[in-house]
Chain A
Amino acid sequence: MRKIMLLLIVLALAFPGTALAAYPEKPITIIVPSKAGGSTDTTARLFIKAAKKYWPKAEFVIKNIGGSGGQKGFEEIARARPDGYTIGMIFTTQVVAHIVAKRARYTLDSFHIMGNAMQDPLIIAVPAKSPIKNLKDFVQAAKAKSLTAAVNGIGSDDFIAAKKFELLTGVKFNLMPTRGSTEQKAMILGGHIDASFMNLSQLQAQHKAGKARIIAILADKRSEILPDVKTAAEQGYPVSMTATRGFVAPAKVDKKILAKLDDLVQKVNHDADFAAACDKGVLFRLPMTGPEYRQYLEQLQAEVQKFYDQNPW
C-alpha cells in the first residue's frame, strides 16, 4: 500500500500536467497597470470579451493598479504567484524605462512575454494656426529658435521619440514634460506650445476636426484613419516610434499553462470581432508573438539605455 502511495506521489510530481488539464478552473486575474478607462484598460476589456469565445468556461477579472507610470502594476505581475491565475499587461516604453532608470524591482526576465496586441504610433503635432506645415518647416523653425515641445513625462514614449528626433536632426527642443495627454491636447489646441510629441489615438479626432495639425506620423507606413498624414520617413527623417500594449505572465508559471495562454493571445489577436471592436474604439492592432515581442522589448531597452546614459533622469 505504502509503495503504491509513494508511486502515486512520485507520478504526481513527475507529471504535474495531469492536474493542469482542467486549467483554468478558477477566475484569471488580469493586472492592468493603469487606471480604469484608459486605452490599456480598454484593450484588456476587449480582450476578455474575445477570449470568452475560445475559452467559454473561463472567467477573467481585471485589477487596475494605476500610477507611477505603470511601475506598481508591473511589479505586481512580476511578484504574483506563478500559478497561471494572474497575468497582466505591459506597455512601452515605460516598462523598460523603469528598468533602465534602476527603479524597477523586475527585469524583462521576470516575465514570460505572451505577445503584443496593440500599438499607438507617435506623431508630431502643431497648433492649427502654426505656420509649420511639414517636418522640413519644423526642423527649419527649430534651428532658427528653440521650439517648446510637450511630452508626457520623462522616460515616456513621447520623450524617447523627441530624443530620437533630436539625435537625427541635431536640433534641440525646449522640452516641456506634462502630466499626460490631456494637458498636451489642451496646450496644442490652445496654442500655448509650438509642438507636441504624442500618440496618434490621442489627437486624430482633433486633426480631423481641423483643431490641430499632425505634421508627421513616426511609423513605417501611414495610418488608415489619417491617410493624408505623411510618415516621418517619407519626409526624409527616418524616425519611428510606437507605444505597444501586450500581455505577459509571471516567468515561473508552468510551461503547459503558458502554452495555453500564448495560444489564447494569438487567437484573440486574429479574431475578426476583436479587430472590428478595436477599429470602432480607435485602437490600432499590432499582433506579435511572444518571441517577437520579447525581441522588440530588448531592442527598445537598449535604445532607452542609450538615452539614459547620455542624460540620466
Chain B
Amino acid sequence: MILQALHELLTPVSLLAIFIGTTSGIIVGGMPGLTATMAVALLIPVTFALQPLTGLLLMGGVYCGAMYGGSIPAILLRTPGTPAAVATALEGYPLTQQGRGGLALKVSVVASFAGGMFSAFILLLTAPLLATFALKFGPPEYFLLALLGLAGIVSMAEDESRLVKALISGLLGLVMAVVGTDPISGMLRYTMGITDLYDGIAFMPALIGMFSISQMLELTGEAGGIVTGEPQLDRLKREPLPPGIGKPIALGSIVGTIIGILPGEGATIAAFVSYNIARRRSKKPELFGKGNPEGIAAAEAGNNGCVGGSLVPTLTLGIPGNSVAAALLGGLLIHGLIPGPELFTRYGVTTYAFILSLFIANVIFLLLGLFMAPYFARISLTPTALLIPVVCLFSVLGSYAMNNSIVDIFIALICGLAAIVLQKTGFSLGALILGLILGPIAETGFAQALIMGHGSYAIFFNRPQAVILWLIILLLLVPPLVQIYQRRRRRSDTA
C-alpha cells in the first residue's frame, strides 16, 4: 500500500501541490497574525475543486511550512510569526544583533527539518500505538504539563539572579490570563462589557505588542540597522553550524513529538519545554538568553516535532492534536475521509501518501531555508527608518487579522508600551508570555481535575502518569534553586 501511495505522490501535480503548500506556509508562518490554522481553513473550499489527495497535500505542506516560517521573523526582528517561535526569538535575536543572523536561520531550518522528519517517521510507523498513550492524559496531567511549562520561568531567570522579578513577571502573565470567561462557571471576569475580551486577552496580539512593537520602539533610538558594529556580510553567509548542536535537536524532536501527540496541547508548550530542558542539560547554560544556537535548535525541533505528533491522534482517533490539526480534520471530513481505522485500510493509499508528503515538505523547506538564509539575514542590515514603519504596519495588521478585532490592536499597543517599561526595569517578557499562554490551560486542568476527583486533591498524585510528570517538574526546578542558593552562600561567605 505504501508503494502505491508513493506512486500517487510522485506525480507532477502532487509534487507541485506540496511545493506550493510549503512555500505559502513559510510566508503565512512568517507574517505575525497570519496563522497556519487560518491558512489551512482557507484552503478547505479550494480543495472542493481538487482531488482529495491534492487538497490534503496542499494543507500538509502549509502546516509544515508555517511551523518553520514563524522562526524567520522571530530571529531577525524578534517578532515571532507564531506563538511557538517565542523561545526561538529569545535566542535568535541576540545572534542577529551580533551579526550572526545567517547562522541562527541555518540552525533553525536544520532543527526544524530534523524535528519534522522525526515526528513524521513516528507518525508513519507507530501512529495507532501512540494514540493510546495520548489518551492516558486527562485533566490532572494537563494541569501538570502547564506547570512543567511554567517551571521554565525559573530557569529563564537564574543566570541573571533575577528570580523574584521573573516570578513576578510570570504571575503578571497569569493575572492577565484571568480576564475572560471562567472556564467552569461561565461567569465573566474583568471583561468590562467588551465582547472581544470574553475569550480572554488574545495572546497573539499581546505577543506582537510585547515582542515586535516594543522592539521597534527601542530601535527608534538607533541610526543604522539592527546589527551593531561593522556588518560582516561574509560571516553572515558562511558561518558553519556550531558543534554540539545535535543533542538539543534530538531532544527537541523527541519532546516535541510527545507533546504534539497529546490532544489540545500546542507547539508553544513543546517549544518552551524543549528549550528549557536543553538549557538545563547544556554545557554552556550561561550563554542562554544571549544568543545560544542550542536554544534555537531545541525550540525549533520542538515545535516542528509537533506537526507529525499532532496528526497521530487526529488520524487515528479523530481527536485533533491542536488547532491546525483541527482545521485539517475539517478538510478530511469534507472529502468523506473519516478518521479511524478505515483511514489506514480502505483509504490507506491517500492517508499514506499524505503522511509521506510530510517528508517531502520538510525537504522542500530545508532546501528553501538553507538557500534563502543569507538573503533573509540581510533584513538585519535594513536601515531602521525603513524597517520600523514596515514592521509596525504588519504588527497592527496582524493583531487585527487574528480575530477581526479592533480591541486586539489596542491590546498590542498597550502591551508594546508596557513591555518597554518592564524590560527596562529588568522584568522578563518571556516569563510573562508563558504565564499568559499557560494560565488558562493550568486553570482549566486544575478545576476539571478537582471535579473529576469529586473535590479531592488526591487525583493529582494517585495516577502513575501524574507522578512521572511531578518527577520531571522537580528535576527541572530543584537544580536551579540549589544553584542559586549556593551562589548566595558563596557570596555571603566572601563578603
What total of chain B residues lie within 8 Å of the partner, measured CB to CB? Answer: 55
Give the residues in chain B near A179, CB-CB below 8 Å: 183, 264, 444
A211 and B138 within 8 A (CB) = no
B188 and A42 within 8 A (CB) = no
> What is the bound-complex CA distance between A154 and B336, given in angstroms?
32
Contact A190-B135, Cβ < 8 Å, known A37-B330, A42-B330, A72-B196? yes
Q: How far is the CB of A122 from chain B (nearest CB, A)?
A: 18
A window 74-125: CB within 8 A of B? 75, 101, 103, 105
Q: How far is the CB of B412 from chain A (nearest CB, A)?
A: 17
A37 and B340 within 8 A (CB) = no
Which of A148, A177, A189 interacts with B184 by CB under 8 Å?
A177
Q: How far is the CB of B265 from chain A (nearest CB, A)?
A: 11
Q: How far is the CB of A228 from chain B (nearest CB, A)?
A: 17
Contact A205-B338, Cβ < 8 Å, known A37-B41, A190-B136, A192-B139? yes
The reply on A36 being an interface residue by CB < 8 A is yes
B window 41-69: CB within 8 A of A? 41-42, 44-45, 48
**A74 closest partner in B (C-beta):** B195
Which of B135, B187, B318 interacts with A205 by CB under 8 Å?
B318
The reply on A185 being an interface residue by CB < 8 A is yes
A37 and B186 within 8 A (CB) = no
A206 and B317 within 8 A (CB) = yes
Contact A41-B330, Cβ < 8 Å, known A187-B138, A190-B137? yes
The reply on B98 being an interface residue by CB < 8 A is no
Q: How far is the CB of A107 from chain B (nearest CB, A)?
A: 16
Give the residues in chain B near A42, CB-CB below 8 Å: 44, 330, 333-334
Stretch at the interface among B4-12, B346-354, B448-456, B476-484: B448-456
The reply on A35 being an interface residue by CB < 8 A is yes
Annotate A53-75 by CB proximity to B: 1 below 8 A, 0 otherwise: 00000000001111111011001
Interface of B is mostly: helix
Give the residues in chain B near A72, CB-CB below 8 Å: 195-196, 198, 405
For chain A, the bracket of interface size reads 35 or more
B183 and A177 within 8 A (CB) = yes
Which of B186, B319, B335 interacts with A155 by CB under 8 Å?
B186
B198 and A154 within 8 A (CB) = no
> What is the bound-complex CA distance between A41 and B134, given in angstroms?
28
Q: How far is the CB of B373 from chain A (nearest CB, A)?
A: 32
Give the residues in chain B near A38, CB-CB below 8 Å: 330
Give the residues in chain A near B198, CB-CB below 8 Å: 67-69, 71-72
Closest 7 CB pairs of A and B: A36-B41, A154-B186, A190-B135, A68-B198, A192-B138, A37-B327, A37-B330
Interface residues of B (CB under 8 A from A): 37-38, 40-42, 44-45, 48, 134-139, 181, 183-188, 195-196, 198-199, 263-264, 313, 317-320, 323, 326-327, 329-331, 333-336, 338-342, 403-405, 444, 448, 451-452, 454
Interface residues of A (CB under 8 A from B): 35-38, 41-42, 45, 48-49, 63-69, 71-72, 75, 101, 103, 105, 146, 148, 153-155, 174-179, 182-183, 185-187, 189-193, 205-206, 208-209, 211, 280-282, 313
Contact sample, A vs B, 21 pairs, CB 8 Å cutoff: A36-B327, A37-B329, A37-B330, A42-B44, A68-B195, A68-B199, A72-B405, A148-B454, A154-B186, A174-B451, A176-B451, A177-B184, A182-B320, A183-B263, A189-B135, A190-B136, A192-B452, A205-B338, A211-B340, A281-B334, A313-B187
